[in-house]
Amino acid sequence: MYTSRISGLGFYVPEHVVTNDDLSKVMDTNDAWIQERTGIKERRHILPGDGNTTSVMGTKAARIAIERAGIDPNDIELIIFATLSPDMYFPGGGVQVQDQLGIGTVPALDVRNQCSGFVYALSTADQYIKTGMYKNVLVIGSENHSGGLDMTTRGRGVSVIFGDGAGAAVVSRNETGAGGILSTHLHSEGKHKDELALQGPSTGYWVPQIIEEDPQEDIPYYPYMNGQFVFKNAVVRFSEVIQEGLQANGLGVDDIAMLIPHQANLRISQFIQKKFGLSDDQVFNNIQKYGNTTAASIPIALTEAWEAGKIKSGDLVVLAAFGSGFTWGSAIIRWA
């Protein structure tokens, strides 16, 4: 059986910066309120006419990752695209990226696991490579949240959190056999599916219904989040799935060189850091700059950490995510 490694990384975020002070002009909030609860100072939003969409941002991130992997787009044998905010209901973002990159008739699939999407997609890529089916798999997490948020006081509990952006990784067969992705661990708990959800548009609440009903009275097509409940579950599941991954590989917390958690809330990351006794140099956070970019958050953070020289060959890198579904997962990587 083969092993896989991440051979190239890239990310893209829109140029338009939205600060907490900017949000205070359209809703009843302020910089201190947002930072205290989330740690976020600013985020990036797509602007109408700037040419960005979920798939376009994914393609921009992918081009960087492919170049850094030292391969050609046509060396990609499978595309896995993780998002909760596709350009359109169908077809999915994977085939759009395929077209934009000019890649031939390779398979493309979409992963709908929200904040855990990149970890799920990475795990899928790892399995395909382990079995010998493919040598190079392109994994993308990309989100356009700004177009679907309630940018009023009514929606501030959710809308201040999310930003737009994309991250990508090329997962390749590890020809040296040293290091690489050691294991991935995935979980879900569907009984909590309604605690962080977007009900429509969907086949249960389809477009004609939305048009006919008063949008001021019933708005299921804006995200809903039971924030306290999500937080309490997140800190438990993050801890469990990190420990699960370490134990599966005979490793301990002291072996972690870099933990990159999904950038959901800085307070969650700080809780996990304190619980595991990790130093600031062992945990990478960038939610302060980008907000929660859901499926894109881990690949964006992973790329930034690598670019900054915080991840080196031989380092044990742990990725962990928790989100809507509830879904959660981890990846244990010996950087190669």
Q: Say which residue the tokens 């990752």 belong to.
A: 65
Are 4-173 and 180-334 the same fold in CATH? Answer: yes
d(CA 328, CA 320): 8
Q: How many CB atoms lie within 10 A of CB 255?
A: 14
Report the percent of the chain where pLDDT is more than 90. Answer: 86
Tokens of 156: 């501030």
Least confident of 39-53, 102-116, 216-230: 216-230
Outline where DSSP puts E strands in the chain.
4-12, 17-19, 42-44, 78-82, 108-111, 136-143, 165-173, 180-188, 196-197, 224-225, 258-261, 316-323, 327-334
Catalytic residues: 115, 262, 292
Domain ranges of the chain: 4-173, 180-334
Average pLDDT (97-120) is 97
Residue 277 sits at the vertex; the CA angle it makes with 325 and 311, to the nearest 5 degrees, is 75
Instruction: Quote the pLDDT of residue 178.
Output: 79
What phi and psi, each to the nearest 5 degrees, are found at residue 169? -140, 140
Dump pLDDT digits (tens) for 263-285: 999 999 999 999 999 999 999 99
CATH code: domain 4-173 is 3.40.47.10
| Across 64-68, 194-198, 199-203, least confident range | 199-203
pLDDT tens across 280-296, in order? 999 999 999 999 999 99
User: pLDDT digits over 28-64, tens only?
Assistant: 999 999 999 999 999 999 999 999 999 999 999 999 9
Report pTM: 0.94
Q: Which CATH class is domain 180-334?
A: alpha beta
Q: Are 286 and 263 in contact (CB under 8 A)?
A: yes
